[in-house]
Amino acid sequence: MTTEQLLSWPAPSRSRGREPADPRFADGTAWIDGKLVPVAEATLPLLDWGFLRSDACQETISAWDGLLFRLDDHLDRFWRSLERLRMASPLSREEVRGVVHSLIAAAGYDNAYVQIIMTRGRPPIGSRDIRLCANRFQAFCIPYVWIATPEVQQRGLHVHVGSRHRVPAASVDPMVKHYHWLDFELGLLEAFDNGAETVVLTDGHGNVLEGPGFNIFVRQGDRLLTPRTGMLDGMTRRTVMEICADAGIQVEETDVPVEALLAADEAFLTTTAGGVLPVTSVGGRAIRNGPGPFTAQIHAAYWQRRADGWHGEPVDYAAASAILAAE
């Protein structure tokens, strides 16, 4: 197969989805205070510390062709974030699973992007005692999100190495999937100013870490490198490592200096929002002319596994009806 063919992805074949349960759900759904609402109408209490202090954690979960991917792994990671932030979920794990299914079912999507979110909540008015906050659960579902559109993936992304460092792990635990994104957001603006499409941030010691919503891999000859620390252990990163392990390809979790990225034979980003995204230029310099063959193979393997139902959980398209009937 050509690189171009490998960089396409299996067109949805099953189409388990259906019409939205309510036409107002066509743009997406949200779960707020135990109710399903159209996503554009979802609001948060102004005094929630999730908003006032970025005191929140989340999981981004995708469904493709009616199959949720690695839902149990996402729930494990969500509960790990909760523990590290010393939050308590008002919903059980099975209730959260039910919400994920209901959000997609109500929207009727085959291909969906779901966020489940815990915010700190707020203490009684007048108090600043974090221990008195009642943690709040909310979630939303919108159509599947691509960090890079399929067309951009065919030619590869232009990446900028940000001048700003990622918030240090000693300050904010990167293994908590959090919203401390001001470094990424300003890095993105810097990337756009420099004609790039996204940004990777470094650790302040010259090593690349991750970017807004993705991990990074670098191929140099027969070595495949990915940062070992200071970043989120992305679900897609894990998937790529499993694909590589099955193929007998060694992935080195190590420091990845910016120079290694600049001198890479190939580089790619991994994310729930798009899968395996080829990189073809860094800092305005082409690292190669078009996506590389190794990246294309990993891209194809990722989408093939998803199409085969690997780590897949079929969306329960009947899940929304009971909740909607009770409202």
Ligand X SMILES: Cc1ncc(COP(=O)(O)O)c(C=O)c1O
Binding residues for ligand X, rule: CB under 6 A, are 60, 210, 213-215, 231-232, 234-237, 270-272
User: CA-CA distance, 106 to 315, in Å (whole number)?
Assistant: 11
Q: Which is nearer to ligand X, 24 or 165 (CB)?
A: 165
Is the torsion defined by CA of 202, 150, 294, 239 positive or negative? positive
DSSP 3-state assignment of 268?
strand
CB of 24 to ligand X, least distance (A): 27
Q: Which is nearer to ligand X, 102 or 198 (CB)?
A: 198
User: CA-CA distance, 305 to 311, in Å (whole number)?
Assistant: 8
CB of 56 to ligand X, least distance (A): 13
The residue number with the shortest CB distance to ligand X is: 234
User: CA-CA distance, 23 to 44, in Å (whole number)?
Assistant: 23
User: CA-CA distance, 196 to 280, in Å (whole number)?
Assistant: 11
- Contact between 68 and 312 under an 8 Å Cβ cutoff? The reply is yes
User: CA-CA distance, 90 to 87, in Å (whole number)?
Assistant: 10
Q: How many CA within 13 A on the CB side of residue 312?
A: 18
Q: Which is nearer to ligand X, 3 or 215 (CB)?
A: 215
DSSP 3-state assignment of 219?
strand
Q: Which is nearer to ligand X, 232 or 296 (CB)?
A: 232
CB of 48 to ligand X, least distance (A): 21
DSSP letter (8 states) at residue 144: -
User: CA-CA distance, 111 to 92, in Å (whole number)?
Assistant: 25
CB of 61 to ligand X, least distance (A): 9
CB of 309 to ligand X, least distance (A): 19
Q: Which is nearer to ligand X, 108 or 115 (CB)?
A: 115
Q: Which is nearer to ligand X, 22 or 304 (CB)?
A: 304
206 CA to centre of own chain: 25
CB of 96 to ligand X, least distance (A): 17
